[in-house]
Amino acid sequence: MSTVLITGCSSGFGLLAAKQLAERGDRVFATMRAPDGKNRAPADELRALSASTGSGIEVLDLDVTSDASVDAAAATVLAKAGVPDVIINSAGQMYVGLAEAFTAEELSRQLDVNIVGIHRVCRAFLPLMRQRASGLIINLSSVAGRFAAPFFGVYHASKWAVEGYSLAARRELACAGVDVVVVEPGPFTTKLFPQSPRPKDEENRAGSYPEAAQQTFDSMGAAFEGMFSDPEVPTDPGDVVNRFVELIDMAPGTRPFRSVVGVDMGVTERNATDEAHDGPFLQMMGLEDFVQLQTT
């Protein structure tokens, strides 16, 4: 049995992961914003599951954009269960629209949720993970962290940041026995796209773009719906959660850094090319101690 902390459990991969891991016997701290407010329904769903099955789920209030909220939740987890064996950073949003139309404040918000939030959670637990010389951090990235397409520039910026941050952290923590991996889902049937914030664009910058840009953007929703309705396309969010479970169960030192799940958009091939260069690059720099996870 592992002790697992999961962020973003109000919906999507985080909610499914909390249920599945608890049902298999893990102790789960399922965190989300406002579990007794706007997210009361999923919070109560998890509480009811725990009460009816005896599974180990505890719902905690955690806003990844707040230092105080993250630190308070971490203090509760540490007091009740000690340092988690696994952290799954699943909280995230996907801002969609022409990059120019987003203000600097809106861009900062996207980055705060998707990458700075990961940093806050990691900082809250890493000292004790390093002291124990073990642990696994799973950061939810995306195939969007490996390529770029129109109208997703702000989201791409956050997910490319997750990739770079996580790979560097994997190297830095290898000598301390803490493993860091990313999972890269393709498009899935979660609430991510329907709830995607658009730019306020009070200056109507999008309106000055060629008409083709607006027409293409307007057709994107139908394109996503068409993909999700195709039974041949792997869009079951449970596939991502199954990969979380597989990574947790792998022996330390054997986990791949990247795991693509679902429609891969050619990312699997790109990952293989990059990975062929990663180790030799570190060795060339004299950083051999940071190539492989050190296990005891």
Torsion sign over Cα 236, 47, 121, 5: negative
Asked if the structure places residue 105 within a domain, the reply is yes
CB 115 within 8 A of CB 161: yes
Q: How confident is the model at residue 191 (pLDDT cuts 50, 70, 90)?
A: low
Bigger pLDDT: 73 or 231? Answer: 73
Asked if the structure places residue 145 within a domain, the reply is yes
CB 190 within 8 A of CB 237: yes
Residue carrying structure tokens 């492989």: 292
Residue 287 has pLDDT above 90, yes or no: no
In this prediction the pTM is 0.93
Q: What is the CA radius of gyration of the chain?
A: 19
Which residue segment(s) compose the domain that 29 sits in? 3-290
Across the strands, what pairs with 57?
28
| Percent of all residues in the chain with a pLDDT value above 70, rounded to a whole number | 95
Residues marked as catalytic: 10, 141, 155, 159
Q: Which of 62-66, 72-76, 282-286 has the least mean pLDDT?
A: 282-286
Asked if the structure places residue 83 within a domain, the reply is yes
CB 176 within 8 A of CB 295: no
Asked if the structure places residue 231 within a domain, the reply is yes
Asked if the structure places residue 12 within a domain, the reply is yes
What's the domain count of the chain? 1
Alpha-carbon dihedral 183, 187, 190, 196, rounded to 10 degrees: 100
Asked if the structure places residue 62 within a domain, the reply is yes
